[in-house]
Amino acid sequence: MDRQRHDRRRAFGNSSETVGRQGPPQRPGVPLGRKMVNRELLEQFTSRWALLISMVGIAVGTGNIWRFPRIAAKYEGGAFLIPWLVFLFLWSIPIIMMEYSMGKGTRKGTIGAFGRLIGPRYAWMGAFVGLVSTAIMFYYSVVNGWCLRYLVLALSGSLQGLTADGARDMWNELIHGYQPVFFHFLSMAAGTLIVYRGVIGGIEKANRIFIPSLLVLLLVLLGRAVTLPGASGGVQAFFTIRWEMLLDYRIWLDALTQNAWSTGAGWGLILTYAVYMRPGEDTVLNSAITAFGNHSVSLIAGIMIFATVYALLPLQAREVLSEPGPLNTGLAFIWIPQLFSKLPGASLFSILFFLALFFASMSSLISMIELAVRLLNDAGIRRRRAIPVVGALGFGMGIPSALSPSFFLNQDWVWGVGLIVSGALMSFAVLRFGVCRFRESYINAAGNDLAVGRWYDVLVRTCIPVEVAALIAWWFWVAAQADPEGWWNPLRVESVGTCLFQWGAALVILLALNRWIARKTLGE
Amino acid sequence: MSTGSLIAMFLVVGLLWGGLTVLIVIALDREKKKSSD
């Protein structure tokens, strides 16, 4: 205990008074003017591995377990893996590098990072990135609550012997009642408590439990899945590449979307944790490990889900895997409970699955809470005061999503696509600052294990803007096709109009408050 | 399993898990060097 206290004090002592302005820290240890220094000293992750585990915790979420297999199944398995891997290098890794470097270099949350990098008049961009992730936190806590509810059901044995109708009834009863509010409260309270205990004692400690446990749970489930009779059909389907699928542009856009939503690139969460990196810590190799770690977990989940579904429901496998189901969660909450109930030791495997799902979502949720806390802390609100405020706000603002599936879908649509805008704003910041200058002074900073070459400049200048434009245009086109008459209507659940209206309202407010936001955060 | 699927599995798993292992080994090596410095 004493040792922990000593370590924590040491971490506080080394911390981020070493902030830079319009560039990374030039000389670590040199404090800037009073206004520029964070009002509270920053904790730091105790080791590189603690940092990496926490970063992987951000990236690995429910999307790895239930979205990735579904989208892979949509394109009949293997073909999807090719563009998914291509965009690992063309989207995820370059943007994750931006986030690591901006957080480490500026030692500020999203608003301060944008302000420091390209000037206070762009603080609103950082605020928009922070707002998108915070809006996601509001309903993501509800998702975490569902996972918790199903974990409780699995523990109590209520998932045993479920029929198809029984599983649907159970799900409908959950989402149309008041239970999600209670479990959303528990989820938000647990996340807030973890963040309240600090970066080392809370976030790092929790991720040290969540992420290794998640990996072990997934590997146990994978081992069980691939040894089921008939599982090889699922593994074969997962790795069978139908080359003609690659000619369909939608597979490329879906793969890019999966990268944008699954790795955490452009969310501002990695940037937030990077604020707590030790000085002289690597950014390039850590970015690659984070992205590869996330995709590796997706691969485990994909093989496990395909093998289980093909072994237990070979005739319906394609339909089960690719059906989005209610609120896009059909696989996790409708099919998996039924499938596991057919296995010997059913309740054990259901418990393991929902525990894995809960750990995955919880590790992401705490990073979203930390992002909002960091922004308030940067604005001068003491951390201990900011945390309950974020917790209460998160619970209150999540209630509509917990009570109304339509509201949930609307928020998921608006802010999910908003993440692509966040990625675009981050790339804009780097372009505005100068990609080459950013690479030399922020990414290839002292202490890096690997250096990034000029290829990075080309990627940020050409590929990422094209990817952003293609994704936004495509999602809007899909929405317009699905609702040709009401696509412009801001009151429709998944329309172009609702996206533009909510983003527009947020942008108008943030632009109007820009000077105040910048002054509070940057002290200028 | 067909040969094509096996090759695809070998390549994808090799690239991701193999790549991750190599990256972690490099990081371990660099950490060792930093601590010895």
Would you state the pLDDT for residue A316? 86
ipTM for the assembly: 0.95
pLDDT class of A6 with cuts at 50, 70, 90: very low
Q: Which of A357, A465, A497, A442 is nearest to A26 (CA)?
A: A442
Q: Provide the Cα torsion A161, A165, A167, A169; round to 10°.
A: -130
pLDDT in tens, A56-94: 999 999 889 988 998 998 888 889 999 999 999 999 999
> How many whole angstroms separate alpha carbon A70 and alpha carbon A330?
10
pLDDT in tens, A444-457: 988 889 999 999 99
* Two tokens, residue A508: 């108008």
Size of interface A-B (CB pairs under 8 A): 59
- Domains of chain A with CATH codes: 39-522 (1.20.1740.10)
Q: State the sign of the Cα–Cα–Cα–Cα dihedral A251, A256, A259, A264.
A: negative
Of A232, A282, A295, the CB nearest to B16: A295
> How many whole angstroms separate alpha carbon A281 and alpha carbon A283?
7
Please tell me which residue of chain A has the smallest CA distance to B29. A449
pLDDT in tens, A104-120: 999 999 999 999 999 99
pLDDT in tens, A401-447: 999 999 999 999 999 999 999 999 999 999 999 999 999 999 998 88
Which among A55, A281, A296, A297 is the top mutation candidate for probing chain B, defined by the most B β-carbons within 10 Å of its own β-carbon?
A: A296
What's the one-letter identity of residue A76?
E
Q: Cβ contact (<8 Å) for A241 and B24? A: no
Residue A197 clears pLDDT 80, i.e. is over it: yes
What residues make up the domain containing B11? Answer: 1-37
Would you state the pLDDT for residue B7? 92
What's the one-letter identity of residue A453?
G
Q: Cβ contact (<8 Å) for B8 and A78? A: yes
Please tell me which residue of chain B has the smallest CA distance to A84. B12
Report the residue count for chain A: 524
Q: Are A174 and A180 in contact (CB under 8 A)?
A: yes
Would you state the pLDDT for residue A383? 95
Contacts of B6 in chain A (CB under 8 A): 239
Q: Into how many domains does chain B fold?
A: 1
pLDDT class of A14 with cuts at 50, 70, 90: very low
Compute CA distances A283 → A52, A134, A286, A309, whole Å: 11, 25, 5, 39
Within A123-220, strands assigned E span none
> How many whole angstroms separate alpha carbon B13 and alpha carbon B20?
10
Would you state the pLDDT for residue B28? 95
Residue A324 clears pLDDT 60, i.e. is over it: yes
pLDDT in tens, A23-62: 454 433 333 333 444 456 789 999 999 999 999 999 999 8
pLDDT in tens, B5-36: 899 999 999 999 999 999 999 999 999 988 88
CB within 8 Å of A512: residues ≥ 6 apart? none
The contact set of A with B (CB < 8 A) is: 48, 78, 81, 85, 232, 235-236, 239-241, 282, 285-286, 288-289, 292-293, 295-296, 299, 449-450
A152 vs A19, more confident: A152
The distance from CA A21 to its chain's CA centroid, rounded to whole angstroms, is: 28
Please tell me which residue of chain A has the smallest CA distance to B2. A236
Which among A285, A292, A298 is the top mutation candidate for probing chain B, defined by the most B β-carbons within 10 Å of its own β-carbon?
A: A292
**A107 dihedral zone (left: phi>0; alpha: psi -120 to 50; beta):** left
Would you state the pLDDT for residue A338? 84
CA distance A21 to chain B (A): 28
> How many whole angstroms separate alpha carbon A340 and alpha carbon A335?
9
pLDDT class of A524 with cuts at 50, 70, 90: low
Compute CA distances A9 → A4, A42, A48, A69, A419, whole Å: 9, 11, 18, 44, 36
Which residue shows structure tokens 């995709």? A295
B3-12 burial, b at 16+ Cβ within 10 Å, e below that, comes to eebeebbebb
